[in-house]
Amino acid sequence: MIYYKSAEQIELLRAAGKIVHDTLCMLETWIKPGMNSLKLDELAEEYIRSQNAVPSFKGYGGFPATLCISRNEEIVHGIPSKSTYLLDGDIVSIDCGALLKGYHGDHARTYAVGNVSPEKQRLMDVTRQCLVLGIEKAVIGNHLSDIGHAIQTYAESQGYSVVRELVGHGIGQRLHEDPQVPNYGKAGRGIILKEGLVIAIEPMVNMGKVGVRTLSDGWTIVTRDRKPSAHFEHTIAITKKGPNILTSGK
């Protein structure tokens, strides 16, 4: 069931989204070679709680941390660990959620650690642009699948592939609500987008082939060919004035 949000609810979602945005901005200054991933997680949790919010992911389905930290061939759901350090040349996706006054924000970025290869930089640039193109389709009257179609078309035009097993989602009083928002598909399918729909759009783009697998920790999703993957996500409200990014920090 899809829960369409009122203007008041969208402002509550924006307040939660701002905390997630600000968390990722704060973390950016700590993303450097030698940084410990559990330390990043502690910094994020401390900041979120200082804003009277709660990490959305911690305990969700048993996930043990505030952040998903996924490096290189890890696509999403990497677990922060005392034994994991960021290395020069890594790309690292940091996905964060916060719950404030009963509403969730969800936002992810992929960062370069130190000096990354031109190939990895281009993967990040294309994935970020996929998110931009997907958001542009999040307008009243479009079909839901127009978003994924735009993402897939651009990613594949750049020689990359789009993950199928993981998708974007509705978001509100629950972290994951209907509808699912795939990053692929034909245009003109699925529900017609209406005012008040709030969704997390989150392209996951692989440099190599489309296949994925789950590591033995039960969480971390990696590319089957072990080539790098990037991930960007925003929480978006569909409004009469067009797509409104609730995790832009405004």
Look at the alpha carbons of 116, 118, 124, 129 in this order and tell me if their dihedral is positive or negative. Answer: positive
Q: Please list, in sequence order, all residues whose beta carbon lies within 8 angstroms of the beta carbon of residue 183, skipping any fewer than 6 positions away.
A: 130, 134, 148, 151, 152, 155, 162, 163, 167, 168, 202, 203, 204, 205
Binding of Mg ion at residue 177 (CB under 5 A)? Answer: no
Stretch that binds Mg ion, among 154-162, 182-190, 227-235, 237-245 (CB under 5 A): 227-235
CB atoms within 10 A of CB 48: 26
Cβ 246 to Mg ion shortest distance, Å? 12
- Residue with Cβ nearer Mg ion (90 or 233): 233
Among residues 74, 95, 146, 177, which is the contact residue for Mg ion, using CB under 5 A? 95
Cβ 15 to Mg ion shortest distance, Å? 17
Q: Are the C-beta atoms of 90 and 66 separated by less than 8 Å?
A: no
Binding of Mg ion at residue 200 (CB under 5 A)? Answer: yes
Nearest residue to 8 (alpha-carbon basis) of 103, 141, 116: 103
Cβ 57 to Mg ion shortest distance, Å? 8
Stretch that binds Mg ion, among 7-15, 39-47, 104-112, 219-227 (CB under 5 A): 104-112
Residue 158 forms beta bridges with which residues? none
Please list, residue by residue across 88-100, b when 16 or more beta carbons sit within 10 angstroms of its beta carbon and e when fewer do: eebbbbbbbbbbb
Stretch that binds Mg ion, among 36-44, 83-91, 194-202, 218-226 (CB under 5 A): 194-202
Binding of Mg ion at residue 106 (CB under 5 A)? Answer: yes
Q: Are the C-beta atoms of 219 and 78 separated by less than 8 Å?
A: yes
Cβ 180 to Mg ion shortest distance, Å? 11
User: Measured between alpha carbons, how far is 158 from 69 in angstroms, rounded to an integer?
Assistant: 25
Stretch that binds Mg ion, among 108-116, 134-142, 179-187, 221-229 (CB under 5 A): 108-116
Stretch that binds Mg ion, among 16-24, 132-140, 178-186, 196-204 (CB under 5 A): 196-204
Size of residue set near Mg ion by CB under 5 A: 5
Two structure tokens written together for 81: 């660990």
- Residue with Cβ nearer Mg ion (180 or 225): 180
Binding of Mg ion at residue 90 (CB under 5 A)? Answer: no
Two structure tokens written together for 161: 């592939």
Q: Residues in the site for Mg ion, rule: CB under 5 A? A: 95, 106, 108, 200, 233
